[in-house]
Amino acid sequence: MTLASTIQQLCFLVLAAVVVVGALGVVLLPNIVYSAFLLGGVFLGVAGLYLLLNASFVAAAQILVYVGAVNVLILFAIMLVNKKETLAVIPGLLLRRLLSGGVCAGLFVLLLRVAFTTHWALPGPLPVGEEATIRIGEHLFSDYLLPFELASVLLLMAMIGAIVLARRDVYSSDVITGEPVDQGLIEKTRTPLLLDPSANAGGQPLLETTP
Amino acid sequence: METTALVSSGLDLQASFVDALQGLGLSPGAARLLWLPLPMVTVLVAAVVGVLVNVWLERKISAAVQQRIGPEYAGPLGVLQPMADGLKLVFKEDIIPARADGLLFTLGPVLVLVPVILSWLVVPFGQNLLISNVGVGIFLWISLSSIQPIGLLMSGYSSNNKYSLLGGLRAAAQSISYEIPLALAVLAIVMMSNSLSTVDIVNQQNGAGILSWNIWRQPVGFVIFWICALAECERLPFDLPEAEEELVAGYQTEYSGMKFALFYLGSYINLVLSALLVSVLYLGGWGFPVPVEWLAGWLGQSVDAPVVQVITATTGIVMTVLKAYLLVFFAILLRWTVPRVRIDQLLDLGWKFLLPIALVNLLVTAALKLAFPMAFGG
């Protein structure tokens, strides 16, 4: 094994670990802000995998679209649109978790079986390297024109929907429940540093009285 | 650096270095491995020195605009003042607020700085004088600069301070809004050069010296790009994320010591980088106003002669840096001439003015390219 292929193996293992561990973190972490930041890390890891496969244009596009746009918008949504609501205890939470865990495990086993039974070492087309950008452009404007245009229609629909939802002068109350919408910034809970936190049993903040 | 362009390859330090080491009995792979860190370290040092120069310029020019003298005692003309600033930041206590989120608080500034430094990968100072001639060149810079808002949001959120949070949100909103017209302006250039690579973009502009620079063919694109670049760097007409009157210091409020220095370094490296990229995209990059090939021809010298190659490379570096610092000078002057815009004006300018104009510019460029393929890249 040469130095180059060793380094490639190593890079692949590190990137794969980042993607898998990061994805698990996104799902399992209780703090949604951490999940969102980790999602950015996962996207970056995937971009690194593309780079390892000599698809530099796809890697750059992945970073631009997923990290730069999607993930930032998710963070925006988390930090701006934060309805303060108390989470009610869901009945049968353990059973639900077991069921969804079972479904996920089944899917995982299925994917593993496919991964191990498929013959992957197919002779593909020759790698095109830097020509890939031109080739992608040609495909987008010839045989993949319809999916490309449909994707843009989908984005247009999403944009119109977002504008309708965001126009607060029209919808000052929640569309589903009819409650007035409370737009507060997400902030960490503030307890004064030098006071005994156990004295704050009434649930009222001690110093901060403004919402 | 596998340039197969038809133009003369110019000074190729990598090839010379590898050849020299092979002469000493090293294998080609080992010689290449020894070469790899050299350009990276050089560019990193250049970027940091560029920041020191930039800070000094900012202090001196700001002082001159306000009819003051500015730093004077630290070295001749105060040139050591930026070093003093840097040292002060290094030795300051590094404070993490008690209720802040320590991990994200530390990671935020790093995420802001790293993409900016990575983007120096594609800045060419000559035909072969860049770290790597990546095929996706300028697109890589656009996508890397889109990582920055995440770092800003991260530091804004983790500071546990409402001014920080608002500053971070503003920074991210501003960054996203101005990225789109910026990318469209770059797209018009790419369309004319038929390549995303920064080296190709410069080569396409250097046919007839100053006359063939992209600024004459893309005046609107130039203005759009410069405005957006200033907005991305959070320079003064657009420094809303850290507007002192409204937000204390925005996402930087809680930062001190080295972590603050990372933001500081990041913003200045970004300014120099943007200026360099404007000069690459619109002002002919390393090109001399009169092509060096012509000059060599008039003097009866071969372009491939070693002395001429060294002179060409030196002129290239000097020209790139000169153009970039001219733009930095304009940015500093703008800082003291233009008042800060309001946040709604900022977003209006980005979405309702620059975006349509950039789209029209792109369409007009495409039409001109079809109509006059000779002058617009065919």
pLDDT for residue B2 is more than 60? no
A52-61, A128-137, B8-17, B274-283: which range is least confident on average?
B8-17
Return the SS3 of A180: strand
Please report the sign of the dihedral spanned by the C-alpha atoms of residue A133, residue A137, residue A142, residue A143.
positive
Question: ipTM higher than 0.90?
Answer: no
Taking each continuous run of H as one helix and of E as one strand, the counts in chain A are: 7, 0
Q: What is the mean pLDDT of residues B324-336?
A: 90
pLDDT higher than 80, residue A168: no
Least confident of A32-41, A187-196, B73-82, B188-197: A187-196
A43 pLDDT higher than 90 = yes
pLDDT the model gives residue B8? 46
Of A37, A63, A191, the CB nearest to B143: A63
Query: What is B57-69 written as a DSSP string?
Result: HHHHHHHHHTT--
- Provide the mean pLDDT of chain B: 83
Average pLDDT estimate for B337-359: 88
pTM of the model: 0.81
- pLDDT class of A102 with cuts at 50, 70, 90: very high
Tell me if B176 sits within 8 A of B188, measured CB to CB.
no
Q: According to the model, what pLDDT value does residue A15 have?
A: 92
> Are the Cβ atoms of A187 and B162 closer than 8 angstroms?
yes
pLDDT number for residue B3: 36
- pLDDT surpassing 60 at residue A200: no
Question: What per-residue confidence (pLDDT) applies to B6?
Answer: 37
Question: How does the average pLDDT of chain A come out, rounded?
Answer: 79
SS3 A86: coil
Average pLDDT over residues A132-154: 88
Task: Quote the minimal CA–CA distance from B328 to chain A in Å.
Answer: 26
pLDDT interval class at B264 (50, 70, 90):
confident
Q: Which of A37-46, A150-159, B207-216 has the lowest mean pLDDT?
A: B207-216
Q: What three-state secondary structure class fits A184?
A: strand
Mean pLDDT along residues B64-89: 85
Top residue of B34, B103, B146 to mutate, by most chain A CBs within 10 Å, is B146
B173:A71 CB<8 A: no
Among the partner-chain residues A3, A68, A188, the one whose CB lies closest to the CB of B147 is A68
pLDDT at A199: 52
Which chain A residues touch B136 with a CB distance below 8 Å? Answer: 56-57, 60, 133
> Are the Cβ atoms of A188 and B101 closer than 8 angstroms?
yes
B225 — phi, psi (to 5°)? -60, -45
- Can you tell me which residue has the tokens 């993490």? B96
Residues of A with CB under 8 A from a CB of B: 3, 33, 37, 40, 44, 56-57, 60-61, 63-64, 67-69, 71-72, 75-76, 79-80, 129-130, 132-133, 185-188, 190-191, 193
Interface A-B: count of C-beta contacts within 8 A: 83
B282 phi and psi angles, rounded to 5 deg: -120, -25
Name the minimum distance, in Å, from the CA of B143 to any CA of chain A: 4
How many Cβ atoms from other residues are within 10 Å of residue B362's Cβ? 16
Does the distance separating the beta carbons of B29 and A3 come in below 8 Å? yes
